[in-house]
Amino acid sequence: MPDESSWQPPEGSWASSAARRRNMQAIRSRDTKPELVIRRLVHARGLRYRIAARPLPGLRRTADLVFRPAKVAVFIDGCYWHGCPEHYVSPKTNPGYWSEKVARNMARDRDTDRQLEEAGWLVLRFWEHEQSDVCAAAVAAAVQERRGHRQAPGS
């Protein structure tokens, strides 16, 4: 096995080094800290949901929290991966690839929103940097409103 210092990425590879590849592969796509905190707060309000589920069976995309009967899909977007206008900074290494990747993610997010809304779903998107208690309150209010209730149990 060749030593890592001589490793070169394959032509057209997204990773600039073996260490970068390992680092990027280790980034969680679900169960991130912001997701876990918001889930805990929403659960404490008495609401139950599906985690990392497909809101629509034919749509190969998952929402972070899915409230099927109320048709509410919640996404907690990472600032880097989804192009937060406040925090996204184009990387110095391989910027063309990563900027295009983030742009594709943003386009897919808009397409997901459109498809869910056309199917009668309410889409809630939050940035990972937003206050978790504010996000959880907005989720609870939206779900309760869609269910026709004024107040969440235990509130």
List pLDDT tens digits, range 43-86: 999 999 999 999 999 999 999 999 999 999 999 999 888 999 99
List pLDDT tens digits, range 93-136: 888 888 999 999 999 999 999 999 999 999 999 999 999 999 99
Residue 87 corresponds to which amino acid?
A: H
> 5 versus 48: which is more confidently predicted?
48
Q: Check whether 24 has a pLDDT greater than 60.
A: no
The first and second tokens of residue 20, run together, are: 């970068």
CA distance 121 to 75: 13
Structural domain boundaries in the chain: 1-27, 31-147
| pLDDT confidence band for 29 (50 / 70 / 90) | low
Q: Which CATH class for the 31-147 domain?
A: alpha beta
